[in-house]
A and B are shown apart, each in its own frame.
Chain A
Amino acid sequence: MTLFLRILLLVTSVLLVLLVLLHRAKGGGLSSLFGGGMQSSLAGSSVAEKNLDRVTLFVIALWVISIVGTGLLIKLNG
């Protein structure tokens, strides 16, 4: 069970990184950090972006569950 959860955690982590990188880059990096004053563009999010959001949220939920699960199992066993 622990092994399964760990593998799930590994897979979801890698997926999460990839999904976040798939999102369109927003903001202007450091120049908009700390008051660079760059206004955000007014472009709305597309359908693809919305679906990506949904998938990302699902993966995040799985990720959190497997973290908490692994932690609990280790605590119960140890």
Chain B
Amino acid sequence: MLGALRSALVTPDLRRKILFTLGIIVLYRLGAMLPSPGVSYPNVQQCVEQTRNDSESIYSLLNLFSGGALLQLSVLSLGIMPYITASIIVQLLQVVIPRFEQLKKEGQSGQATLTQYTRYLTIALALLQATGITALAVRGQLFPGCTTEVIPDNSVLNLVVIVVTMTAGAALLMWMGELITERGVGNGMSLLIFTSIAARIPSQGASILNGQGGLVFAVVCVFGLAIITSVVFVEQAQRRIPVQYAKRMIGRRMYGGTSTYLPLKVNQAGIIPVIFASSLLYLPQLLGQLAGNQNTWWARFIQTYIVDPSSWVHILLYMAMIIFFAYFYVSITFNPEERADEMKKFGGFIPGIRPGRPTAEYLSFVLSRITLPGALYLGIIAVLPSFFLGLTGGGQGGMQSFMFGGTAILIMVNVGLDTVKQVESQLTQRNYEGFLR
């Protein structure tokens, strides 16, 4: 393992890439600390301190993705969230709008156009979110119960400057992510998410250690390790469907005749179902917050059943949505008929199954069966913190167990595995032994 690390650093090409990636990450963390102009830094700190133990804050998910920069109203406070939302929307629109579907089928150039659309949408969403957050901060709703003014000078010019700066920050972050993808290691966007989540782990751990004692801390750590192991295990699991290619002669050359396999991952959808489901579950909460009045019957209903992560309604709803989105996402990313057609075109077949429609039916049958354990696993991992919450007695443990149990660990392990695999493929290009055996 350490030898592999050494050879990764000795290779000049790879070393430059790794250093470049680290440099961008450092710049990102610096930018996340830089407060927007016109925002009073001491006042923000005071308010964050006051509302720290408020585990029911609606922004915990958003704040998680921005690495704590959101609540500090920093320049990069929007983080990568607008880009994620934009990509989700573009992805969903591929099912609805025929033009998008056509673009997707066009291959590389169509994909580039789609990415360009995603980028435009990102800027629009960033503008919206920046306006929303600034408005909330001015009206004092960003930190409920904190009376200090976060933005002392609320003239129109100042507010416009803040909104535009935040939007530019989101654009800058998008560019940084693309630079990592192009010149660094791994996928830039997911590495930035990884960074912002990892940045919050030490402080969350410390607050568990201080608030609930060493024993709970140790239990949480052991539990986190166990979850990481199981996540890696399921993430790597795949079913290999054998595919046989027929021999053919083209000119004087012989092609094909090989037998290979089609890998179907157990968790084909990755962590996208979890992100979809949690974003949707935060919506009613956000609405309740915006409506303000807490005494109508539906506000109370939302508060007791949907917002509270330890209520069984919340757990069941979350679980059901994750399973639904897992199937949904697999169905839009993996098209069995297309796969079967491709195999037929290149003279491949699955032993025992005729090419064409029977192959497509077989593939979709296997896929829908294999997705069920994958979806259940995603749901269980994501719901675990809620059980944690019940065990440790509820209250302020919510956010912390959220960090150590569910979405955060899933995202981190996924990104980590992906990055290590990319480094590994670069290493094996030069005949070095890699990290994974």
Q: Enumerate chain A interface residues (CB-CB to B < 8 A).
A: 6, 9-10, 12-14, 16-17, 20-21, 23-36, 40-41, 45, 56, 60, 63-64, 66-68, 70-71, 74, 78
On chain A, the residues within 8 Å of B88 by CB distance are: 30
> Binary interface profile of B, 162-190, with partner A (CB < 8 Å = 1, else 0)?
00110110011011001001100001111
B271 cross-chain contacts in A, Cβ below 8 A? 34
Write out the residue numbers on chain A whose beta carbons fall within 8 Å of the beta carbon of B113. Answer: 25
Could you list 7 examples of A-B contacts with CB < 8 Å? A9-B165, A21-B171, A27-B187, A29-B91, A29-B115, A31-B333, A35-B415
The smallest C-beta distance from A69 to any residue of chain B, in angstroms, reads: 8
Q: Which residues of A contact B417 (CB under 8 A)?
A: 35
- Name which residue of chain A comes closest to B269, CB basis: A34
Q: Is B200 an interface residue (CB 8 A)?
A: no
B108 near A40 (CB under 8 angstroms)? Answer: no
In the complex, the answer to whether A33 meets B87 with C-beta atoms within 8 Å is yes
A14 contacts B189, CB within 8 Å? no
Complex contact A27–B181 (CB within 8 A): yes
Give the distance to chain A from B279, nearest Cβ to Cβ, in Å.
13
Q: Is B278 an interface residue (CB 8 A)?
A: no
Residues of A within 8 A of B187 (CB): 27, 32-35
Contacts A20-B172, A26-B181, A27-B178 given; does A9 touch B270 at CB 8 Å? no
Q: Is the CB of A30 within 8 A of B272?
A: yes
With A25-B112, A29-B114, A35-B417 known to touch, is A9 a contact of B182 (CB < 8 Å)?
A: no
Residues from chain A with a CB closer than 8 A to the CB of B115 are 25-29
Is the pair B75, A67 in contact by a Cβ cutoff of 8 Å? yes
- Give complex CA distance A71, B333 in Å: 46
Q: Which of A26, A33, A60 has the most CB of B within 10 A?
A: A33
Given contacts A23-B175, A34-B415, A40-B182, contact A6 B91 (CB under 8 A): no
Specify which chain B residues have a CB less than 8 angstroms from the CB of A28 in the assembled complex.
111, 114-115
A35 touches B270 (CB 8 A): yes
- Beyond A27-B189, A70-B38, is A10–B160 a contact (Cβ under 8 Å)? yes
Contact of B189 among A21, A33, A66, A78 (CB under 8 A): A33
Would A30 and B168 be within 8 Å (CB), given that A6-B161, A40-B182, A41-B108 are in contact? no
